[in-house]
Chains A and B, each alone.
Chain A
Amino acid sequence: MTEPLSLRDEPAPTGLVVVRLGARTMEDKLLLRSVEQCHDRWGIWGFSVFEVPDGDYEQLARMRPIVAERRQLLVAEATALVDGGFPLLPTLDAPHWTVVLADATSAQFDRVRSHFEGPIANPSYRARND
C-alpha cells in the first residue's frame, strides 16, 4: 500500500544543484532498486537526490551526516533535469528531492544518467582514521 505523497511548499531555487551519493549509484542494477523502493512507497517511479544548499557541501553534510561518509558524488543541475523531462519533487525533509521518471527502464536510466556529471570528489568527505 502506497503512502500519500506530501510535498514541501518549496519551488526549486534558481541554480539548484543536486547530488546522488556514490559513484556507482546510477548503474542500472542499483538505480532500479532505488526506483522500485520509490514506486512502492509513493506509486511513482523516481529516485532520491539531495540539494546542495547554496552550493555549500559542508552545510549539506551537516543536514545529512551520511554525506560526509561518501568519497564520491554524482552531480546534476536541476534545470537540466527538468528541461530533460525529469521533474523534481520536494519530498520528505529538506534537502531531499525526488527525480521523477516516466518508467523504470534502461532507456530512462540512460537518459537521466546523461544529466549527471562525475563522479566528483566529495568536498565534505571526512576521512576516517580507523
Chain B
Amino acid sequence: MDSDRYDLWYDATTVGADLVVETWISHSPRLADETFDPQPGDWVTVGDDEEPSIRGRITRRDRNKVWVQLELGLVATDAASQAVGHH
C-alpha cells in the first residue's frame, strides 16, 4: 500500500466498537503538507500501509491529534482525491 494514498495513519488494533480511532498528524504521510488542516466534519482517508485505506469522518481534533470515525462500507479506492486538501 502506497502511504501517500491516505491522509492519516492509524493503528487498527486501537479502533473502538464505535469505529472511532485516534490518529496523529505527526505520524502521517501528510505531516509536511502545510495545506493539510483537517477539521471535525471533514472526510479523510486513513491507512496503515497494509490494507486498503478507509474513508472516515473527523469527529474531534486537538492540535496534532485527530479522531476519525471509520466508514467500513467505504473502502477509499481513489478517495484520496476527495479528501481534505488533495487536489
Contact = CB atoms under 8 A, between A and B. Distances in A.
Interface of A: 19-25, 30, 33-34, 36-37, 41, 47-50, 63-66, 69-72, 92-93, 128, 130
A48 B11 contact: yes
10 pairs of A and B residues whose beta carbons are closest in the complex = A21-B12, A66-B15, A48-B13, A34-B11, A33-B27, A48-B14, A21-B13, A22-B50, A20-B13, A66-B12
Interface residues of B, number: 21
Determine chain A's interface SS by DSSP, over half rule.
mixed
A70 B49 CA distance: 12
Given A24-B49, A33-B27, A65-B72, A92 B16 contact: yes
B22 A69 contact: no
Interface string B42-63: 0000001111001000000000
